[in-house]
Chain A
């Protein structure tokens, strides 16, 4: 009888934990989806809201793309983390979800620059900041909430479901964009169809809010509140008390900074590298990343569960070390796989098509060159040259060096190369799962309940938002530095990898020296 009661109780506990995981994960996934559709559609958004001929608007474009990820996320972590430690986890991450969903939906409705002028980029900029603020508050809350519901000894396993949400959010964003783009056609999508993924967010957030409303508060927080042990000032307690500050620093330098660069390199930089260095066509490059993400996602749970058995430290550190060693060989293989100089062209299949049209006060010449290679690769180069009909204007633009043609290069890889690319990106996603799968449990376990939301959110969002979020910017810059002259290819297309390699190396050394591996079965108090 006693055995039966124990079994029923255990089944109820597992079922309750599953409900908590599902409700938390769906909301967090939607927040990541909301955050990533802006980044993935950055080019279209820039054209709609941030016209190139207006320097202030162009500056805002840059800030909008980066500021939310870098500066605002840690502020969101502080603001909502403090609220979460004062009033509770449940209501705080419910608020972040509503803010994120509301601002994403609103971006989809903002009229373009052509309609409302400068207000358009200003409104979008403000909404993007709200997105970053909300994201800064969401993750820490979700991870804390799930961890505080999880049984001791299984925290890595249960929190790993939260860890899948960032990757699945990116996958969902890429998937929705690809489906809408393919259904409407490229022109309609660029015109107004891009708004659909933003507007769709309202529906997703509505469902998620409904689910989260039914959830109960974290049992540890409720207990602590009943006992009157909540922190009166979580910010001061987290960052002014030496014992907590030193844990914040070790979490940042020994874990989240390295994890952040590995995360962004394996997913975002890989996509950027495929599209810009390898010139892989838009749909194919997005499919490569999406498939690799989908296959790699279960590894978050595998490594999360494994960390309950062997500890968090060695899995995270192994992920960083292997990434540091393997990045350059992996990216060399990716580059070689798409490098047209290493392929043999089937010259008789090459076609060149030239069109000339007068559009307003300009002559637009479009030259489309199509090439086929013996391995099955096809290549399309579209060169668009816009020259003013007015000779004086033409001379002025030529003198300013602004008469350069716009060139778009697209290579479509044959099946064998396509699968190889998926494999090479998948390896990087596995590194991501190693460093990211156990990290929520690791962060939760090093901070006490009374300041956990605040303390774990800040190093997480600095590590991911600042160190990780800067990967595209710094890596692109490092590659550009090797370009001998404008218009010529960079001498070292892999130079961008030095930034993640350096940060992950430092993080690895600090993590190995200073982080304990004894946290996997500790009680969270």
Chain B
């Protein structure tokens, strides 16, 4: 079980890292296609609020999981 937890730690970290370029590229693509105020507000909320929370929490959680910090909780 702890091997699976550690293995998934890599998955969470990669997800956290991967989400940053993914979101930024999508935002740039959509804003370039339609630079409306609505688009700016939506992507600002996603980039400033949602993305940092997801990225930080997944990366940190993944690193902890990889180090076996959650093995004792089970």
Main secondary structure, interface of A, reads helix
B72: nearest residue on chain A (CB-CB)? A516
Main secondary structure, interface of B, reads helix
B4 contacts A513, CB within 8 Å?
Answer: yes
Asked if A55 is an interface residue, CB under 8 A from chain B, the answer is yes
Listed stretches A187-195, A218-226, A241-249, A413-421; interface member: A241-249
Given contacts A249-B60, A253-B58, A466-B53, contact A514 B73 (CB under 8 A): yes
- 0 or 1 for each of B19-41: is its CB under 8 Å from A? (1 = yes): 00000000000000000010001
Within the assembled complex, what's the spacing in Å between the Cα atoms of A388 and B60? 58
A245 contacts B60, CB within 8 Å?
Answer: yes
Across chains A and B, the number of contacting residue pairs, with CB separation under 8 Å, is 54
- 0 or 1 for each of A486-525: is its CB under 8 Å from B? (1 = yes): 0000000000000000000010011001111000000000
**Chain B interface residue bracket vs A:** 20 to 34
Within the assembled complex, what's the spacing in Å between the Cα atoms of A376 and B5? 55
A466 contacts B64, CB within 8 Å?
Answer: no
B31 to A: closest C-beta gap in Å? 13
Given contacts A245-B60, A249-B60, contact A466 B49 (CB under 8 A): yes
* 8 Å CB interface, B35-61 against A: 37, 41-42, 45-46, 49-50, 53, 57-58, 60-61
Contacts of B8 in A (CB 8 A): 509, 513
B45 contacts A66, CB within 8 Å?
Answer: yes
Contacts of B74 in A (CB 8 A): 514, 516
A507 to B: closest C-beta gap in Å? 11
14 A-B pairs in the complex with CB atoms less than 8 angstroms apart: A55-B37, A70-B49, A71-B49, A242-B64, A249-B61, A250-B73, A253-B58, A467-B50, A473-B42, A474-B46, A477-B42, A513-B4, A514-B73, A515-B73
Q: Interface of A with B (CB < 8 Å)?
A: 55, 58-59, 62, 66, 70-71, 242, 245-246, 249-250, 252-253, 462, 466-467, 470, 473-474, 477, 506, 509-510, 513-516
